[in-house]
């Protein structure tokens, strides 16, 4: 039996997904809560049952890196900044967002 873990990348229905959460149902099978990675399903949430789907695990050792030939690595920097901006602040500081400055944490 395959052990699934959060953060694992999989190929399900010919699209790439990242596992966010795993639950075991009443029949003892696993339900994978995933978010889409490939272009067609980017940022879409889905739940897959391991007993009904053909799930292929992406081996990180087989991933091929491609060089960034853009001037001053613009494409790589843009990707890294977009990933960084999607992170939710978890500190107690006030953060400036789009058209607003707010304190995202409620202090009790």
Give the total number of structural domains in the chain: 1
Residue 83 lies in a domain: no
Domain for residue 57, yes or no? yes
pTM of this prediction? 0.62
pLDDT of 90 strictly over 90: no
68 part of a folded domain? no
- Does residue 45 fall inside a structural domain? yes
3-state secondary structure of 20: strand
How far lies 95's CA from each of 86, 100, 102, in Å? 13, 9, 6
42 is a domain residue: yes
Residue 102: pLDDT band (50, 70, 90) is low
Q: Judge whether 106 lies within some domain.
A: no
Dist CA 93 CA 33 (whole Å): 32
The domain of 49 spans 9-62
93 assigned to some structural domain: no
Residue of 88 and 9 predicted with greater confidence: 9
């Amino acid at each position: 039996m395959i052990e699934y873990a959060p953060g694992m990348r999989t190929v399900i229905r010919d699209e790439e997904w990242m596992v966010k959460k795993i639950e075991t149902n009443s029949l003892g099978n696993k339900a994978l809560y995933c978010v889409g990675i490939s272009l067609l399903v980017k940022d879409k949430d889905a739940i897959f049952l391991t007993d009904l789907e053909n799930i292929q695990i992406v081996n990180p050792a087989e991933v091929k890196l491609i060089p960034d030939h853009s001037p001053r690595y613009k494409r790589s920097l843009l990707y890294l900044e977009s990933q960084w901006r999607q992170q939710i602040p978890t500190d107690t500081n006030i953060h400036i967002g789009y058209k607003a400055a707010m304190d995202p944490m409620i202090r009790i």
